[in-house]
Chains A and B, each alone.
Chain A
């Protein structure tokens, strides 16, 4: 699976949109972009995933560039509870396809 690069940390103001970037310049055509987050002492929580088109669900939006070499996770109205580590992962779907976690980005939402 292709590797992703995320900045180690970022912050945003409570109530504002949090835009978390991810680079995946070696992504191949059949690899999906997945986003998870992990709140301390819990298992990772699935947020959203996409292949080419932008996606939106009740938690977030995922914007994928046309060349698919980067993407942005958008939390539209960040809250203090969104302060945690977010992982961007690319993966081919398939029977034994694995999720390989990098270091992620730590988002700090400030009051």
Chain B
């Protein structure tokens, strides 16, 4: 149980275009999902907390207009990287949990390369 699926697993896009990443909880409902970013040889950094039916909460230094988060249902959150630039190239990972006291489970990540 507690499977989190991310799609796509990798994407290459041109500078200036937008990319959407999907995060789904397959066998449970998640009122809260979290989005992380990881640069090479670094640890995961939390970008934002996504709450179903309300606005996401962004961590300090993360531009909300650049990283659009939509949590439209209890099983789906999306992260859209708008007007992507090469410095946005990174490994994006989502996570979710079934209850407030359950462990967070992570998707397998999306490798974004902006050329």
Whether chain B is bound by chain A comes out as: yes
Seen from chain A, the residues whose Cβ lies within 8 Å of a Cβ on chain B are 34, 36, 38, 41-46, 49, 87, 93-104
Interface string of B35-67 (1 = CB under 8 A from A): 010000001111001010000010000000000
**Cross-chain contact A96 with B32 (CB below 8 angstroms):** yes
Shortest Cβ gap from B88 to chain A (Å):
18
DSSP class of A's interface residues: helix, strand, loop or mixed? loop
In B88-111, the 8 Å CB interface with A consists of 91, 93-95, 100-101, 103-109, 111
Residue of A nearest to B102 (CB): A93
A94 contacts which chain B residues (CB < 8 A)?
Answer: 100
**Residue pair B100, A41 in contact (C-beta under 8 Å):** no
Minimum C-beta distance from A103 to chain B (A): 6
Interchain residue pairs with CB less than 8 A apart (16): A42-B108, A43-B93, A43-B95, A43-B107, A44-B93, A44-B95, A44-B106, A46-B103, A46-B106, A93-B100, A96-B57, A98-B49, A99-B34, A99-B104, A101-B36, A101-B43
